[in-house]
Amino acid sequence: MGILKLILVPVAVGVFIATVWNLIPEKEVTLEENNFYGSGKVRPDNTEIKPFKVSVDEKVIDDLKHRLQNSRISHSVLEDSDDFYYGFNSKQLLKLRDYWLNKYDWRKQEAILNQFPQFTTEIEGLQVHFLRVQPPKTYKIVKPILVAHGWPGNVFEFYKFIPLLTDPKKHGINSDFAFEVIAPSIPGYGWSEQPKKTGFSQLACARVFRKLMLRLGYSKFYLQGGDWGAIITSLLTKVYPDNVIALHMNMIPAMPGASFMGTFYDFLGWLVPSTLSSKELQKNHNPFAKFGNLIVETGYMHIQATKPDTAGTSLNDSPIGLAAYIIEKFSTWTNLEYRALPDGGLNKKFTNDELLTIVMIYWTNGNIVSCKDSTENSSSIDDVKHLLSKRYVAVPTAHASGLNELYDRCPIEVSRYLYNITHYTEIDMGHFAAFEAPKPLATSVFKFVKDLE
C-alpha cells in the first residue's frame, strides 16, 4: 500500500495541476505589430541593409591579455571533490587561461567569423546583425530558413551547421534542394544592438525576426531553433502561422502542465514505460528526476531574470570570470555525466578555440549584461508564458530530441498535444545541437522537409 501511495500521490498532484491550469480561461493577448527599442525618441527605421565584417581593435585584445595575466583564480579544489559539480574546476580554469594567453589566435577566429556574408539593418530602432548564406548555383531549388540561437551561445554555434544546409551534397546529405540560411543575432547578443528600452521579450524578438525575413523578400519560410531560439521560433509560428511553412526544433518549449493529456502521458510513461514509443526514454523517463536536475542546474536563471545588471557587471569586468560562467554550461548542458570529470568533458565535443570564440564574442561586444536584459528579464513576459502554454501549433513541426538534453527529453506522447509533430527523431547530443552534432541535426532538417513534400 505504501508503494502504491508513493506512486499515485505525485501522479494525482500532477494531473490536478494540469487540470487547474487548463481550466484557466483563455487570456486575450494584445499583440503589438510595432514598437521602438532604440535610443531617444521614436523615429522611422532606416531599412537599408548594410554589409558587415567583424573587426576588433587591437587595443581591446591588449586589454584582454592584461586582464587575463592579472586574473585571480584563487579558489582551490576541495580535497574530496575534483570535478565540475561545484562549477568550473579551478585547475582546469588555469589551463584554459594559459591556452587563451599563449595559443588562442583571435585574428584566425575573426577570419573564420568573416567567412560568411554578414549584414545589419534597423528594425524597431535596433541595428540587427545577421548572416545570409546562399547555396551554390547548382541547386535549382532553394528554400529560405531562419535559424535562431540561444544562451549562452551566439551565431557562431551555427558555423559548422550552415555549410550542411547550404550545400548538402558536398557533405554527404542526399538532397536535390538546399537552404538559404538567415542567422540573426538576437538583439543584445553578438553584433545586434542592445534594446535601450524595457519590455523587449522573446515575443518582441519573434516579431523583429519576422520583419527581417519580410524585408529580405520572404513572406513564407522555414524555422529552426533551440534554447531561446526554440522559444522565439515557437512564438513566431504561433502568432504568425501564415508566414511559417514548417518549424524544426531541438528543444520543445512547454510550460509545466500546459496540456492535460500531455501531463497524463508524461506520468504514465514513467509508471508504464512501454506506453512510450521511444526505446531510449523507456529506459529512464522520470519527470521528477528531470525536475530535480532543473532545480540544481538553473540557479543562474533566477539571478539573470531578476537582477541581470548586478550579475552582469562583474562578468563584464573579468574575462576569466566570464569564461568560467559561460563555458561551464558547455560541460553540464552537453551531458550531465560530464560534471563528474576533472575537465568537465569540455573537449569531448568542442575545441578550446571553439569555446573561447563563443566567449570572445560576448567579451568584445560587452554582451553579457545586454543578453540577459533582452531575453531573461522577468518583465514583459506574461504574454510569452501564456502563448507558450495556451496555443496549439498547427504548423508542421519537427522535434530532434537530444538524448543528453537537460531541458528537453520530451516524449512525443507529450509534445504532440502542443505541436503538430510530423517528424520526430532522437540524436545522441546535448543542448548545443548545431554546435555539437551539426550533421545529424542537418540530416533531421532535410528529412523533415522532404517528408512534408
* Separation of alpha carbons 446 and 424, rounded Å: 13
How many CB atoms are closer than 10 A to CB 169?
14
Is 14 inside a domain boundary?
Answer: no
CATH classification of the domain holding 395? 3.40.50.1820
Is 94 inside a domain boundary?
Answer: yes
Interhelix angle for 2-23 vs 260-271, to 10°? 160
Domain that holds residue 384: 59-452
**pLDDT in the model for residue 18:** 52
**pLDDT in the model for residue 30:** 65
Is 5 inside a domain boundary?
Answer: no
Which residues contact residue 93 at a Cβ distance below 8 angstroms, ignoring those fewer than 6 apart? 73, 320, 323, 324
* Separation of alpha carbons 448 and 146, rounded Å: 15
**pLDDT digit of tens for each residue in the chain (453 aa)?**
455 444 455 555 555 555 555 555 555 566 778 999 999 999 999 999 999 999 999 999 999 999 999 998 876 666 767 788 888 988 999 999 999 999 999 999 999 999 999 999 999 999 999 999 999 999 999 999 999 999 999 999 999 999 999 999 999 999 999 999 999 999 999 999 999 998 888 999 999 999 999 999 999 999 999 999 999 999 999 999 999 999 999 998 865 555 555 566 566 666 666 666 566 665 566 666 666 777 778 778 778 878 888 888 888 899 999 999 999 999 999 999 999 999 999 999 999 999 999 999 999 999 888 776 555 554 455 556 656 665 789 999 999 999 888 876 677 777 787 899 999 999 999 999 999 999 999 999 999 999 998
Residues 95/66, Cβ–Cβ less than 8 Å: no
Residues 408/402, Cβ–Cβ less than 8 Å: yes
Is 349 inside a domain boundary?
Answer: yes
Is 71 inside a domain boundary?
Answer: yes
How many domains does the structure of the chain reveal? 1
**pLDDT in the model for residue 294:** 74
DSSP run (H or E) holding 281:
helix 279-284
In DSSP terms, 184 is beta-bridged to 130
Is 202 inside a domain boundary?
Answer: yes
**pLDDT in the model for residue 351:** 98
Which residues contact residue 354 at a Cβ distance below 8 angstroms, ignoring those fewer than 6 apart? 156, 435
Is 2 inside a domain boundary?
Answer: no
**pLDDT in the model for residue 6:** 47
> Cell numbers 554550461 correspond to what residue?
329
Is 7 inside a domain boundary?
Answer: no
For the chain, how are helix, strand and coil distributed in percent, rounded to 5?
A: 50, 15, 35
How many CB atoms are closer than 10 A to CB 262?
19
**pLDDT in the model for residue 229:** 96
Which residues contact residue 62 at a Cβ distance below 8 angstroms, ignoring those fewer than 6 apart? none
What global pTM score does this model have?
0.89
Which residues contact residue 152 at a Cβ distance below 8 angstroms, ignoring those fewer than 6 apart? 325, 326, 329, 358, 362, 371
**pLDDT in the model for residue 33:** 86
* Separation of alpha carbons 255 and 243, rounded Å: 24
**pLDDT in the model for residue 379:** 47
Taking only the tens place, the pLDDT of each residue in 304-316 is: 878 888 888 888 8
Nearest C-alpha neighbor of 127 from the set 61, 173, 189: 189
* Separation of alpha carbons 318 and 333, rounded Å: 23
